[in-house]
């Protein structure tokens, strides 16, 4: 089913491994959404004006130059207008206070799980409240759950 223009998510990807970033980008596009920017370090993410336009920010925790996706989260101007999702194999590297306000998915992410998660996020942001609960693979922090219900 094609996503209407107004229901398309604008997605920004912060990931330092090119192959993974490409894979995530293609999954976003296949699900009918837009990739509006990509970055592989804290500096490149924060200097990209597209970051502030994103509906969904997908964040790897450990970035190329030793910087952190957690720092990118802290720098976001528009935390409340967007949803931030950490995609990581190291869930425990996300501080509890940040995990509470964001969502996370464990890498590697199966395509079908990722598409379900994007569909849920589109419901949260574009057609609230979400019609169905978050898929199991998307772990939603309690403060975020409160904000999107």
Q: Is the dihedral of CA 91, 37, 119, 122 positive or negative?
A: positive
What pLDDT does 4 receive?
65
pLDDT at residue 6 above 80? no
In the structure, what pLDDT confidence band is assigned to residue 1 with cuts at 50, 70 and 90?
Answer: very low
The pLDDT tens digits for 113-126 are 999 999 999 999 99
> Closest Cα to residue 42, out of 55, 59, 56?
59
| Bridge partners for 11 per DSSP | 35, 56
Entry pTM: 0.94
Percentage of the chain lying above the pLDDT 90 cut: 81
Containing 73, the helix (H) or strand (E) segment is: helix 69-75
Q: How confident is the model at residue 8 (pLDDT cuts 50, 70, 90)?
A: very high
For residues 62 and 52, give the distance between their C-alpha atoms in angstroms, rounded to a whole number: 21
**pLDDT tens-digit profile of 100-112?**
999 999 999 999 9
- pLDDT over 80 (residue 78): no
């Amino acid at each position: 089913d094609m996503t209407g223009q107004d229901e398309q998510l604008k997605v920004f990807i912060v990931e330092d491994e090119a192959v993974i970033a490409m894979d995530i980008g293609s999954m976003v596009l296949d699900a009918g959404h837009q990739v509006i920017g990509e970055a592989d370090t804290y500096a490149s993410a924060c200097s990209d004006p597209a970051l502030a336009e994103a509906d969904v920010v997908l964040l790897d925790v450990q970035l190329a130059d030793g910087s952190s996706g957690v720092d990118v989260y802290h720098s976001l101007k528009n935390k409340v207008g967007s949803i931030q999702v950490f995609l990581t194999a190291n869930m425990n590297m996300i501080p509890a206070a940040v995990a509470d306000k964001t969502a996370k998915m464990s890498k590697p992410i199966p395509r079908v799980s990722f598409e379900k998660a994007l569909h849920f996020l589109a419901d949260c942001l574009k057609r609230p409240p979400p019609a169905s609960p978050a898929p199991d693979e998307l772990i939603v922090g309690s403060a975020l759950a409160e904000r999107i219900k």
